[in-house]
Chains A and B, each alone.
Chain A
Amino acid sequence: MGSHSSSAHGENYINCEKGLWSWLTTIDHKRIGIMYMIAVMFFFFVGGVMALLLRLELFAPNATAGVGQVLKNGDAYNQVLTYHGAIMVFMVIVPGIPAILGNFFLPIHLGAKDMAFPKINLLSWYVFMAGALLAVATFFLSKIDTGWTFYTPYSIRTGTSVVVMVVAAFIMGMSSILTGLNMIVTVHKLRAPGMTMHRMPLFVWAMYSTAILQLLATPVLGITLMLLAAEKIFGVGIFDPALGGDPVLFQHFFWFYSHPAVYIMILPAMGVISEIITAFSRKVIFGYTAIAYSSLGIAAVSFFVWGHHMFVSGQSELAGIMFSFITMLVGVPTAIKMFNWVATIYKGSVSFDSPMLFALGFLFLFAIGGVTGIMLATLPIDVHFHDTYFVVAHFHYVMVGGTLMALMGGFYYWFPKMFGKNFNEALARLSFVFIFIGFNVTFFPQFILGAMGMPRRYFDYIPNYEQLNKVSTVGSWLILIGFLIGLYAIVQGIRKGSKAVANPWGAKTLEWQTASPPPQFNFDVEPVVTAGPYEYR
């Protein structure tokens, strides 16, 4: 335990410099993490409101007066759908855990004073905000309706602000690359004395694998989006079949990034879960190296599976079979993680505080998301389920049930450290109950709807689907209530929470060895690491 000389005077990263300007020009990774948190929470709110609108529209068939016609027509529905997807993917789930929790805790986990490139870290926040605001601006220019995937040839023919939107996505990709690059160098070069690679917390391993993906996948998306912009402006003909181009090539390029991007979304969540489960089971994590290297394994395999998005695109059958097989292969490292987490809980002294509840919620929901993922990886089943609500339910279980549960859990877990305050535990648990139940009520019926044949992206449906859609929409209101309670718990905790101790959960990783909130340079004395991260018993 480091001596708390500066923290004894109550000086920490929050109050060491005052004023809005000191935040906007800060190069402290912790403050940058908080700035990302505010931005991402705002975009999550916007994307969430759009999700509620979509569900409200689907509450009843359009023939029903009133609720069935919230969005006047299919165009409006497509636009809201596109912005919901694009905002949630590019501005919430992809940057979420890496930019907020990763920024804040990766250097502290390593015993470093800051990220390797603090100024680039700040730059990446500004780049992200510029891209995000540009993307939001298209909403007021001419709303795009392509879906977040910008599939050609439709995206070439529809409204012109597709160009602005893809430039915005390109800019946000730059930010993602800069963050990833920063993290890799930090892990390689800034570890404290004694912090070997195999003593790093598993959260760091997950962030490291994510950063590799960000670095290797994002440039390909960047050039793809630039080519799409060139296609729209100059009519080059690369993706336009009317000019001799190949629209499926766009899908190949797009998913070469965007499938690894799915793991950019989920790997950090797995890191958070590893931390929470070991801390709240009071047990050394089971299979440390297996969990660490399975992150790298998932990252590696993720580059060879993009074709499963294109089973019905007209690619060769052999390609379909290969992609089907390799996709199932991702299940192996993922299952390694799942079993290790369960083995960690087994015979542990489990305490069910709110972070652990979210972690257990993650295990439950991610298991469903993962198993349905294997179903969709199976070529013939995917041909049947393609572009139905089964797919919608699957990726919401993985991304929301996985990433968002982990983000909330990680947020409550590290809240006392980040703000030096305690939150209201009862409210946090209540928030979990609403989100967990609401989530299942919303998305489980969509598996059934999908199996019944309800197509995705449609703004109307036949009466057969009405009952399950009603249930699903009611579920979305429960999720809303859950997040509002959670938001209240967070705001109230920041404003009025009692003072937190340095290590409220009795956890072992480095961040708990410094004051809450941490001093400006993380540690008063540089820590020397002498043992692994989870020395519980």
Chain B
Amino acid sequence: MSTDNVTHPHAAHVSHHFNDATQEYDSGKQGIWLFMVTEILMFGALLIGYGIFHHLYPAMFSEGAKQLDWKLGFVNTLVLIFSSFTMAISIQLIQRNQIKKAAMALAITILCGAVFMVIKYFEWTHKFHLGFYPGRFLDLAKTGAEHANLGMYFGFYFCMSGLHGLHVLIGMGLITWLLIRTIRGEFHSQYWIPVEGVGIFWHIVDLIWIFLFPLLYLVG
């Protein structure tokens, strides 16, 4: 178990079952990457489902995509890419022991996540306002939908962007946890495994959005 022995930063963070910090670092990194494989596979199955039905009902999917505001989606894409940048910067800064700047970078990352979610919130509520609900709740009369099963498109839209949004929220929570630990001075040039792990998670969440954005907003 880790003890807070300040005089030996190396020994302080090596858990009981590891021989040294390198082994712990390598294990943590492999673990987070393997977990990312499962995330990609989970979204991958969604993308395959999307692809199949897009192929079956191209006109309906095109009608659905036209209802989305690509400008908002594009802004969100930029926001997320920028947040990936600040996340990466924070690791660099911790490795150089510039803790205050690192905390700032993490705070900006959380802020970007929040901006993303706020824009998402307005997009979703606007859709609800117009009657674009998923599946059977889609208001055919109010929306004036041409295709009777347009609800399927919005089913995919809300499932995919909802699951992704959930990941953004989880990521924001994790980065907040990192921020608190950073301010407490728990990370430094000898120890930053959790920061890098959460960072990888955040990059993958961004990457998934980079696939979702063109699929949902631009294709068709």
Q: Give A residues with C-beta under 8 Å from B.
A: 112-118, 120, 177, 181-182, 184-185, 188-190, 215-216, 218-220, 222-224, 226-227, 230-231, 234-238, 243-246, 249, 253, 256, 521
Contacts and interface: CB of A to CB of B under 8 A. Distances in A.
A372 to B, nearest CB: 31
Nearest to A237: B152
Given A189-B26, A253-B45, A114 B16 contact: yes
Given A218-B38, A219-B41, A234 B31 contact: no
Contacts of B46: 223, 227
A189 B38 CA distance: 20
B30 A238 contact: no
Interface of B: 15-18, 23, 26-27, 30-31, 34-35, 37-39, 41-46, 49, 52-53, 56-57, 133-137, 149, 151-152, 155-156, 158-159, 163
A269 to B, nearest CB: 24
A222 B38 CA distance: 10
A396 B38 CA distance: 30
Given A185-B27, A243-B151, 14 more contacts: A120-B31, A185-B30, A223-B43, A223-B46, A227-B46, A230-B155, A234-B134, A234-B136, A234-B151, A235-B136, A235-B137, A237-B135, A253-B45, A256-B45
Contacts of B136: 234-235, 237, 243
B37 A215 contact: yes
Contacts of B135: 230-231, 234-237, 243
A116 B135 CA distance: 43
A189 B27 contact: yes
B42 A219 contact: yes
Given A218-B38, A230-B134, A236-B134, A243 B17 contact: no
A113 B27 contact: no
B137 A234 contact: yes
Given A189-B26, A236-B152, A238-B53, A220 B45 contact: yes
A281 B45 CA distance: 46
Contacts of A181: 31, 34-35, 38
16 contacts: A112-B17, A218-B38, A219-B39, A219-B42, A220-B44, A223-B42, A223-B46, A227-B46, A230-B159, A234-B133, A234-B136, A234-B158, A236-B134, A238-B152, A249-B49, A249-B52
A249 B159 CA distance: 17
A534 B15 CA distance: 32
A253 to B, nearest CB: 6
B66 to A, nearest CB: 19
Contact of A227 (B44, B149, B151, B159): B159
A238 B37 contact: no
B31 A227 contact: no
Nearest to B40: A219
B34 A185 contact: yes
Contact of A113 (B17, B42, B133, B156): B17
B49 A216 contact: no
Contacts of B34: 181, 184-185, 215
A122 to B, nearest CB: 13
Given A222-B42, A236-B151, A237-B149, A244 B57 contact: yes
Given A216-B37, A234-B155, A114 B149 contact: no
A254 to B, nearest CB: 11
A494 to B, nearest CB: 27
Contacts of B15: 118
A521 B152 contact: no
Given A116-B27, A181-B31, A236 B41 contact: no
Contacts of B35: 177, 181
Q: 9 closest A-B pairs (Cβ-Cβ)?
A: A236-B155, A235-B136, A234-B135, A114-B17, A113-B17, A219-B42, A236-B135, A235-B135, A219-B41
A495 to B, nearest CB: 31
Contact of A189 (B23, B44, B52, B149): B23
Contacts of A223: 42-43, 45-46
B100 to A, nearest CB: 30
A140 B22 CA distance: 50
B49 A238 contact: yes
A523 to B, nearest CB: 12
B159 A189 contact: no
Contacts of B16: 113-114, 521
Contacts of B18: 190
B121 to A, nearest CB: 19
Contacts of B137: 234-235
Contact of A220 (B31, B41, B163): B41
Contact of A190 (B27, B39, B53): B27
A231 B41 CA distance: 20
A190 B159 contact: no
Nearest to A214: B38
A310 to B, nearest CB: 16
